[in-house]
Amino acid sequence: MSKTNTETMQPEGKTAAAMKLDVRVRPIAPIDNLLGFANVTINDSFVVEGFRICSGEKGLYVNMPSAQDKSGNWRDTFKPITADARRQLTDAIVEGYGAAIEKLQATLDATRGAAEKPSLTGVLKENAGKVKSQPAKTSPGKEGPSL
């Protein structure tokens, strides 16, 4: 006797419910086409680590986490079953990568802006040098008695 699928299937044209995806991206200095890594928490229930964000001729794409088998072949250890789930996952990771790059750029811009502004320590040192080079003034009330 064969086993039958008793799960209900959605009619064509309807998409699966959106998954709650919490994406954490770590951009790196590019190595060939590798741009960064990502970890994803799915529906506050599962964590999947080891996504690789890469660049190609058509733009950014995401490689699924994988491990090498005994034969030396690489096998995905996590893979979405439906095209819609894969799209949701890759879109969230690519969007997370874009946000991480924007944050890095903002930090870099802020650092450059801070380097152009004089620091408080530098201003104090500069003013201290000016004070030392000025002639000393004597106040009239502190003069000693004249003889």
In a domain, 92, yes or no: yes
The more confidently predicted of residues 67 and 3 is 67
**Rounded to a whole number, what is the distance in angstroms from the first to the last CA of the chain?**
129
3-class secondary structure per residue, the chain: CCCCCCCCCCCCCCCCCCCCEEEEEEEEEEECCEEEEEEEEECCCEEEEEEEEEEECCEEEEECCEEECCCCCEEECCCCCCHHHHHHHHHHHHHHHHHHHHHHHHHHHHHHHHHHCCCHHHHHHHHHHHHHHCCCCCCHHHCCCCC
Range of the domain at 30: 21-120
In a domain, 137, yes or no: no
The mean-pLDDT minimum among 35-39, 42-46, 136-140 falls in 136-140
In a domain, 145, yes or no: no
In a domain, 111, yes or no: yes
Residue 90 has a pLDDT of 95
Query: What gap in Å lies between CA 19 and CA 16, rounded to an integer?
Result: 9
Residue 16 has a pLDDT of 60
Residue 2 has a pLDDT of 39
The reply to whether the predicted model has a pTM over 0.75 is no
Per-residue pLDDT tens for 90-145?
Answer: 999 999 999 999 998 888 888 776 656 665 666 666 666 555 555 555 555 555 55
In a domain, 133, yes or no: no
Average pLDDT over the chain, rounded to whole? 79
CATH number, domain at 73?
Answer: 3.30.1120.40
| Domain tally, the chain | 1
